[in-house]
Amino acid sequence: MRVFKSKIKKKYIDDLKNQISNGRIINWSPEKNKNAGLKFKDLKYILNYWKTKFDWEKQEEVLNKFNQYKLKINDVDLHFLHIKSSFKNAKPLMLIHGWPGSIFEFLDIIPMLSNPIGKNKNDFLPFDLVVPSLPNVGYSFSLNQKPKDLDQIASIFLKLMNKIGYKKYFIQGGDLGSFIASIMAVKKPKRVLGIHINMLPLPRGLNKKPKNKLEQKFFLDLKNWMHFETGYQAIQGTKPFTVAHALNSSPIALCSYISEKFYSWTDNKGKLFKTINIDRMLANISLYWFTGCIGGSFWPYYIRHRSDWPIDKNKPIEVPTGYSEFPKELFLPPKTLAEQFYKQINFWKKHKTGGHFAALEQPDELVLDINDFVKKNI
């Protein structure tokens, strides 16, 4: 295991800004349809901020305040944060990001979880945190690395926890992280004390005959989402090389592709940067740019498109499960459906605001939910 610090050379930072300055964007269509993708004015605003106000070195400094390591597991030189709480009774917790996210999603909640402070600190549990970068993403990416599916990633993360000395632990995840957490729970139910997720990755093949109006609404919403919002899955699952070449050739293209998901998947009411921190979003996009990992981040979609659904309906989750429902999540399964697969749901919290990127949008609520869930299961 090797100590790691992020250090992007100034020449690469300058090159990024030059490419933004010299790139071309065209306001090519008068169409005002809000569902047609990222708007010209929004992209123009983000690019101008990225070029003139965003400070990568400042974001890098925040990241480097936390202990980071590299550890070779199989053929992956895995990057991860390992933050030990100053409290002796801390509970081990792994945080797993999804796509198109990264470790930058969690930087604001790491101190809240590891060393709670303030007048309410006695109401919060302290955690020893392990925050890995997914293989093929960020500083876990390397050229010519073999593709990894979600099952393989889950096995790598189980090995990571074992190698750094955690025999029993909790897991939190959203997006792909919720899949990985669920798979880890199936593989090692005696080690995984419980999983808290903010997206419910139900397996295919569940009973789709609606038993009530909530289930009926869910299946209708899911059908609409699959029809209108899964173009990214189709291209990443079928022709990842094609789109990766385009995105790796231009920071403007990369920014447009990733930023659209932050607009589409957050509860922003048309004002994204009153909902999330623009610097955190751009740090995330910059990490994808500097490491060149966007193509690698597509591998789970490519493999899934050619194999069985990664969540097996014949292998239900038997460990304690908590779920935080944020209203603008991609899809919102009712509890009656979730209980067909997650057999020990003992925490279910509905929130009035929030979306897919919970750690960025609603950090206080997410931290509170994690605490309340873990308290139920210790």
Residues with a catalytic annotation lie at 175, 301, 356
Residue that the structure tokens 């999804």 belong to: 98
Helix (H, G, I), strand (E, B) or coil at 246: helix
- Vertex 11, ends 8 and 12: CA angle to 5°? 55
Helix (H, G, I), strand (E, B) or coil at 119: coil
- HSE at residue 373, side-chain half, CA atoms within 13 A, is 28
Burial of 196-214, coded b for 16+ CB within 10 Å and e otherwise, reads bbbbbbbbeeeeeebeeee
Which residues are CB-contacts of 316 (< 8 A; sequence separation ≥ 6)?
Answer: 340, 341, 342, 343
Helix (H, G, I), strand (E, B) or coil at 72: strand
Q: Name the pairing type of β-strands 68-73 and 76-83.
A: antiparallel
In the 8-state DSSP scheme, what is residue 355?
Answer: B
Helix (H, G, I), strand (E, B) or coil at 134: coil
